[in-house]
Chains A and B, each alone.
Chain A
């Protein structure tokens, strides 16, 4: 497996939708290619960081105001 081939299936590796036989090839490639190993690990970490950290924090009072406004509009709508 070449780096280009690995890169093509990187998403499937991350999403764990890889056939068993390909998995062995991937593992062999990663053992000898430090760059691809770093790309895989840091891409996984990238996703994890974005998933675990709220970057658009909404203060509770804003959230409550918006919620009340939505429900108010819905009640008037019907």
Chain B
């Protein structure tokens, strides 16, 4: 029987670390690589928070510029990507605040409600229900569905489930506790599921027809 080996923690460096070091040494081409790597994600996150194309474009540019200018402050104890996301989230919230003429915008907005935390619709979905829609229709459904979530839930869902941050990274990025992230994630997932069931549930076509008919009683469902 072999002896217990100490758990090897290989000092494996994330590829971004070397790129960040090169940028710090003045190599702008290395930053070009980092921007290309993450620009789509940063744009998506900004668009999810601001819900506005123009703002998302501005946030994306400002976030990358700010990250570049503040790269010396990047400690390296979190991933470059997580650090960048945090900048983008803050920039997005600032942008929202401007639009709402200074009204405070925070991650705690609208999260006091318990709405949607208990499943009510148990209709099963058709297999691969997304195939019943064109790409454009599906994108439209998903946009409408996620836009209906309270901001504080939406951002947690996007960072954790769409962009693949861990629960801890999401908490760190948003300045929330891990239990808060978990609770919001569960409620976000359940609310999105509930809303998508309207489109993807097996009896969805009947509801859609009732909703489309004038005076149909499916309209307020």
Interface residues, chain A, with chain B CB atoms under 8 Å away: 7, 10-11, 14, 34-35, 38-39, 41-43, 45-47, 49-51, 53-58, 62-63, 66-67, 69-71, 73-75, 77-78
Contact = CB atoms under 8 A, between A and B. Distances in A.
Contacts of B130: 49, 53
| Secondary structure type dominating chain B contacts | helix
Contacts, number: 106
> Most chain-B Cβ atoms within 10 A of its Cβ — which of A55, A69, A73?
A55
A34 B57 CA distance: 45
B153 interface: no
Nearest to A46: B193
24 contacts: A7-B119, A10-B189, A11-B182, A11-B185, A11-B186, A38-B123, A42-B196, A42-B197, A43-B193, A47-B189, A49-B130, A50-B142, A50-B192, A51-B161, A51-B162, A53-B139, A56-B43, A56-B48, A58-B43, A62-B57, A63-B39, A67-B39, A71-B28, A71-B31
B61 A73 contact: yes
B40 interface: yes
Given A50-B192, A77-B68, A39 B146 contact: no
| Secondary structure type dominating chain A contacts | helix
Given A53-B139, A70-B64, A77-B68, A39 B28 contact: no
B97 interface: no
B136 to A, nearest CB: 10
B124 interface: yes
